[in-house]
Structure 1
């Protein structure tokens, strides 16, 4: 599936300048047209968000402070966690046979309930998840949920917030060194092979995993970083690499 580029005009410059963006089926334009309030809230949260040093160099537990911070920003705007469940009802209607004195239709029903995956945030006809640095299998879960919600006619599109990889990995190394800490302290938290980032999400988008659901991917990048969580500033100059340095 080809990526589209409606985000270049649908999103404000404050978002385009700081995040890496991908979309399928003109997701940004679709959401701006069909869900203008929710789309404006997404843009507002992204414009307000600042990536801090602690987000990159400190462990965050099951739900990182960054993800919790973003989810809280949506909660205060009325977004809520949701889940798509499938209920299949089968009905067998046995018709009467008059010679046997039968007059009414006999009905037998069975119902199967399949509990689906949760979505971090739902409001109106938009679904949104935050996958900052989670297991990459979460991307399959999220995109599958969007597809099911869209096919059921419950949403018009979805947004998935994740991160870039190479630039943030290098920034984390620079910050760790500036603080006198080892690269090993950030190595595992920004690994390539097992955690979510834009490259892994983009491959799922281009192979069409979301089906007909317009999907906007927003990746937090180095350009979102601020040293104190306030005004954005230029990251520290990279320290010279020694021949003994290992690659993350």
Structure 2
């Protein structure tokens, strides 16, 4: 199951018999998810232009899932005593699809604060206990992607000859005063100064994709502690290879512009 994804570097983990449940009760789900994920790419320009927020690539992934019937749904769980509603809880899930055998819920955590994993897993746990869903899926940045963000950003700087903040403005990037200050402190310090490209790539990576954001190791921390247990889970880590280079200059400018617009919304 998910052999093609694994061969492409995706990380796949099953929890609480999720693999058996998928193979027996939901055989079409693995094929759907695999087809959608195999066709997904995120140009590096979208990562840079979005400033760490949700990229057009992750939006395309969401749209592809929606096209297969995975749509946002708000579960409402009510407690009724003698015909009178005493309380109600709602759980909004971004992607939900129902099948003859049951319902599957899916969340994509591209780059939120890592406590979002607690929210997702606890929602899955409650909904599973209430019989509202059979299995949960979480898609996030895999370890290979998280570990490579710096080198990917550094390569973007090399490819676009970014050696100063003026060069950043030339290609349509507008760092904040704080970001400029952080970079220049590293470039101009007396002890162990570093080249501008390294300083900017490191500042961007730590500021936008730091350890306190949603990625594979933070998800592992939760599930290994039992968060979400015993809800069956499928965990999917997006690999480094999902990030692409080599867009033509017109596409680069468009992607950077779209990313800035998205970050301002």
TM-score, length-normalised on structure 2? 0.69
Q: How does 1:66-105 map to 2 (within 5 A)?
A: 66-91=57-82
Unaligned runs of 5+ in 2: 163-199, 248-265
Task: Say what the alpha-carbon RMSD is for the aligned residues.
Answer: 2.2
Contact 1:57 1:186 in 2 (8 A): no
Give the number of the structure whose residues are more often helix, by fraction.
Answer: 2
CA distance 1:130–1:122, shift in 2 (3 Å): same
CA distance 1:157–1:32, shift in 2 (3 Å): same
1:48-80 CA-to-partner distances (Å, cap 9, x unmatched) read: 112321233222686432321111010111111
Aligned to 1:115: 90
Contact 1:27 1:216 in 2 (8 A): yes
Say yes or no: does 1:171 pair with 2:152: yes
Paired residue total: 202
Q: CA deviation at 1:179?
A: 2.3
Q: CA deviation at 1:199?
A: 0.5
Which protein is bigger by CA-based radius of gyration?
Answer: 1
Contact 1:147 1:212 in 2 (8 A): yes
Aligned to 2:45: 54
Question: Which has the bigger relative contact order, CA under 8 A and spacing at least 6?
Answer: 2
Q: Which runs of 4+ in 1 moved over 6 A?
A: none
CA distance 1:214–1:110, shift in 2 (3 Å): closer
Unaligned runs of 5+ in 1: 1-9, 92-107, 230-248
SS of equivalent residue, structure 2 residue 42:
coil
1:94-124 CA-to-partner distances (Å, cap 9, x unmatched) read: xxxxxxxxxxxxxx835212223x1110012
Q: Distance in 1 between matches of 2:74 and 2:85?
A: 23
1:203-234 CA-to-partner distances (Å, cap 9, x unmatched) read: 111111111111111111212232247xxxxx
Say yes or no: does 1:132 pair with 2:113: no
TM-score, length-normalised on structure 1? 0.73
